[in-house]
Amino acid sequence: MAFDLNIHDEIGRLKAVVLGVAKSNGPTPDLKDAYDPKSAEHIKAGTYPLEQDMIQEMEAFAHVLEKYGVTVFRPEIIENYNQIFTRDIAFVIEDKMIIANILEDRSKEIEALEFLMNQIDPEKIISFPEHAHIEGGDVMPWGDYIFVGTFKDKDYRKYITARTNMAAVEHLQKLFPHKKVISFSLKKSNFDPRENALHLDCCFQPIGKGKAIIHKEGFLIEEEYQWLVDFIGPENLFHVDKEEMYHMNCNVFSISPEVIVSEEGFTRLNSWLRLHGFTVEEIPYSEIAKQEGLLRCSTMPLSRA
């Protein structure tokens, strides 16, 4: 087995990552097949992103990762299939790869990573029980903690936007008994992308230098939001407004504690990051954002220093 997994947080210097692919992404989906309200909005408006534009954006991301010496793996191409958001299909904590329990329509995506999984000790690859639903966008390892976005309401199954349930949170705690697993109830909407935090990384992102990006209205329970404010420190937070959340400002990606990849249109955020001493690598990613995912969603970190 050739490949060692090593992820303890969101910011350690990135050594290896899986970056999604937009090639052979398939036609614009029918409205009834949209997985989230933002995609649905763009399908209705006739502004759903074109494959060639998304390929260009993802190649810009790959170029930045390679510039920093990161080993970049890409999924094998499945014809006419959306494979952009690798964060959803699996995630790494410590030296374990957790296979996510995702929407059934997307279950083929993990097959495109078989070549990589063959290089990992099979004992380090963990599948969740069927009743425990989880996606990587909701899971953030952070030192002694694992932060998890969830939806606790009994109406869980009514929301296609509810991706991680409490059974998964409890299962994570069993898998990592030495960690503090802290869950956060997220606001969900099947119809309004400005009222929907699809995953935790749509409304919160810890970055280097003790800072974090947060969108208060993405949290369903004020006390849980307040716990994060107290944990990070109010002076260390960049607050994203509703329009910025809609454009995915929380969903940047750290290559190291000092280097952040961000969308070129995030003017206010990028200025704040530079003001606080970060190197900001700006790339165009606004077409991919139309599917309610951005930079963190497109990546599955495998190893950080």
In this predicted structure, the answer to whether residue 1 has a pLDDT above a threshold of 70 is no
**Max alpha carbon distance in the chain (Å)?**
49
Q: What pLDDT sits at residue 37? A: 67
Q: What pLDDT sits at residue 5? A: 98
Judge contact between 248 and 197, C-beta under 8 A. no
> For 107-163, what is each residue's pLDDT tens digit?
688 899 999 999 999 999 999 888 888 989 999 999 999 999 997 765 545 444 456
CA dist., res. 290 & res. 150, Å (int): 23
- The alpha carbon of residue 95 and the mean position of all alpha carbons in its chain are separated, in whole angstroms, by 19
CA dist., res. 128 & res. 168, Å (int): 8
- Strand intervals (E) in 80-194: 90-93, 96-99, 125-127, 139-142, 145-150, 180-185
Q: What pLDDT sits at residue 304? A: 98
Quick one: average pLDDT of 7-11?
98
- Element holding 133 (H helix, E strand): none
Please state the pTM of the whole predicted model.
0.91
CA dist., res. 35 & res. 228, Å (int): 28
> For 183-215, what is each residue's pLDDT tens digit?
999 986 766 667 677 799 999 999 999 999 999
Which one is predicted more confidently, 158 or 24?
Answer: 24
In this predicted structure, the answer to whether residue 7 has a pLDDT above a threshold of 70 is yes
* Long-range contacts, stretch 115-120, CB < 8 angstroms, 24+ apart: 115/76, 116/3, 116/18, 116/73, 119/1, 119/2, 119/3, 120/1, 120/3, 120/5
Q: Which of 6-10, 64-68, 151-155, 219-223 has the lowest mean pLDDT?
A: 151-155
Q: Give the rounded percent of residues in the chain with a pLDDT score beyond 70.
A: 90
Averaged pLDDT score across all residues of the chain: 90
How many helices (H) and strands (E) would you count in the chain?
7, 15
Domain ranges of the chain: 14-304
CATH number for the segment(s) 14-304:
3.75.10.10
